[in-house]
C-alpha cells in the first residue's frame, strides 16, 4: 500500500510550521507509474539550467506555474560542470564548482513544490559521467528530503557515448558494441548512485535513469535493464522537429519489453532547441504518450533567444507572466 506523507516546513522568517499538503508515494507497477495505487501520467514543465537561469529558481515562479498554468510536476535542472559556459560565458559554474549555489537554487524549488503539494524531479543535468560527484550530490539531497514522496531523482540527464566522455567526440555513436559497452558503464554508475540514495532514504523514492545518445537509445536498457531497484523508470528525450516515428517505434519496443518510460524533456522544435516548431509531430508525440500513460516534461522555463525557451528576457523572475513566447503559449494550453 502506498504511503502518504505530510511534511512540516519551517519558515525562516517566522519560525512557524505549516503542514504541507499530502501527496501519494509514487510506485512503478509494470510499465505504469502509480500514485497511491492509481495510475498517473503528467504534463509538466522543466526549469532550464540552474546556472544559466537562476533567476527563475524561486518560490514565486513555481507557484505561478502551479496556480496559473495548472502544473503539478516540475523538473529542476541542476547543471553539473562548466558545459553551459561554452555558449554562456558569464553564467555560473555547475554543482561541481559551485555546490552551495546549486543547492540554494534547488532547495528553493523543492521546498515550494512540497509546500504546494507538487512533485519535483531533481535532475543531475549533465552530458558527462561524474560518479563521485553525483553520489555526493544525491546523498546530500536524499538526506535532506528523506521520506518526502514529492521528490523524484533523475540520475543522469543525457548520456551521449563513451568517446564523448573521453575525447568530446561522437566516434562510437554508430558502433553497436561500443554503445552496449557504454550502457554497461552507465548501469554501474546508476547502481552506485541508487545505493547512495537508498542508504539515506529507504522509502524507495521514484528514480529515473537516462540512456545513451541523448536519451534516444532506449532499446539498450530494454534489452539489458538495471537490476536490484524496483521503483525505477527510464528517460527518453525528444524534440519533435528532429525525432519522429522512428523514436516512437523504439519506445514501443521498450514498452513491449516491459521497460517503464518517462519523457523528462521534450519540445516541439529541433534538437538544437531552436528552429521552427513542428506542430503536427508534437501532436503525434503527445497523442502517443497520452495513449500509453507516459509522462511528458516540456523544456524549458528560460529566457534565451531560442524556440524552446518559454519566456522573454523582459519577463519577471517570479511571474505572473502575461506575455509568453509561442512555445510557452503552447505548453500552457497543453498543461491546462
**Cα dihedral 49, 214, 72, 61 in deg (nearest 10):** 10
Q: CA end-to-end span of the chain, whole Å?
A: 30
Q: What is the CA radius of gyration of the chain?
A: 19
**Cα dihedral 41, 290, 73, 90 in deg (nearest 10):** 140
Per-state percent for the chain, helix, strand, coil, to nearest 5:
35, 20, 45
How far apart are alpha carbons 316 and 335 in whole angstroms? Answer: 21
CA angle 246, 184, 196 (to 5 degrees): 115
Helical residues (DSSP H) of 239-316, grouped into ranges: 245-256, 279-292
Neighbours of 14 (CB within 10 A): 8
Helical residues (DSSP H) of 56-130, grouped into ranges: 59-67, 99-115
Which residues are registered as beta bridge partners of 29?
A: 32
Neighbours of 13 (CB within 10 A): 6
Which residues are known to be catalytic?
A: 158, 265
Amino acid at each position: 500500500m502506498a504511503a502518504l506523507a505530510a511534511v512540516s516546513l519551517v519558515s525562516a522568517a517566522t519560525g512557524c510550521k505549516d503542514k504541507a499538503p499530502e501527496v501519494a508515494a509514487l510506485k512503478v507497477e509494470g510499465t505504469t507509474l502509480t500514485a497511491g495505487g492509481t495510475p498517473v501520467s503528467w504534463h509538466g514543465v522543466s526549469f532550464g539550467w540552474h546556472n544559466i537561469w537562476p533567476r527563475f529558481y524561486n518560490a514565486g515562479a513555481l507557484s505561478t506555474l502551479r496556480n496559473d498554468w495548472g502544473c503539478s510536476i516540475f523538473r529542476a535542472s541542476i547543471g553539473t560542470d562548466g558545459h553551459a559556459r561554452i555558449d554562456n560565458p558569464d553564467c555560473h559554474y555547475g554543482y561541481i564548482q559551485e555546490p552551495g549555489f546549486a543547492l540554494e537554487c534547488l532547495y528553493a524549488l523543492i521546498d515550494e513544490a512540497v509546500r504546494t503539494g507538487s512533485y519535483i524531479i531533481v535532475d543531475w543535468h549533465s552530458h558527462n559521467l561524474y560518479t563521485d560527484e553525483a553520489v555526493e550530490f544525491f546523498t546530500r539531497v536524499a538526506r535532506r528530503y528523506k521520506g518526502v514522496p514529492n521528490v523524484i531523482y533523475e540520475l543522469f540527464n543525457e548520456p551521449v557515448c563513451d568517446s564523448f566522455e573521453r575525447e568530446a567526440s561522437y566516434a562510437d555513436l554508430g558502433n553497436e558494441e561500443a554503445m552496449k559497452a557504454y550502457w554497461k558503464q552507465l548501469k554501474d554508475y546508476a547502481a552506485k548512485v541508487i545505493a547512495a540514495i537508498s542508504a539515506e532514504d529507504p522509502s524507495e523514492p521514484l528514480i529515473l535513469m537516462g540512456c545513451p545518445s541523448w536519451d534516444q537509445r532506449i532499446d539498450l536498457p530494454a534489452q539489458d535493464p538495471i537490476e536490484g531497484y524496483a521503483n525505477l523508470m527510464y528517460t527518453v528525450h525528444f524534440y519533435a522537429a528532429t525525432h519522429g516515428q522512428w523514436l516512437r517505434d523504439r519506445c514501443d519496443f521498450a514498452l513491449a519489453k516491459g521497460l517503464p518510460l518517462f519523457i523528462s524533456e521534450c519540445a516541439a522544435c529541433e534538437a538544437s532547441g531552436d528552429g521552427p516548431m513542428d506542430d503536427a509531430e508534437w501532436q503525434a508525440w503527445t497523442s502517443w504518450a497520452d495513449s500509453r500513460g507516459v509522462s511528458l516534461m516540456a523544456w524549458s522555463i528560460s529566457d534565451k533567444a531560442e524556440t524552446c525557451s518559454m519566456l522573454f528576457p523582459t519577463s519577471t523572475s517570479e511571474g505572473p507572466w502575461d506575455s509568453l513566447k509561442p512555445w510557452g503559449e503552447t505548453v500552457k494550453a497543453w498543461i491546462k
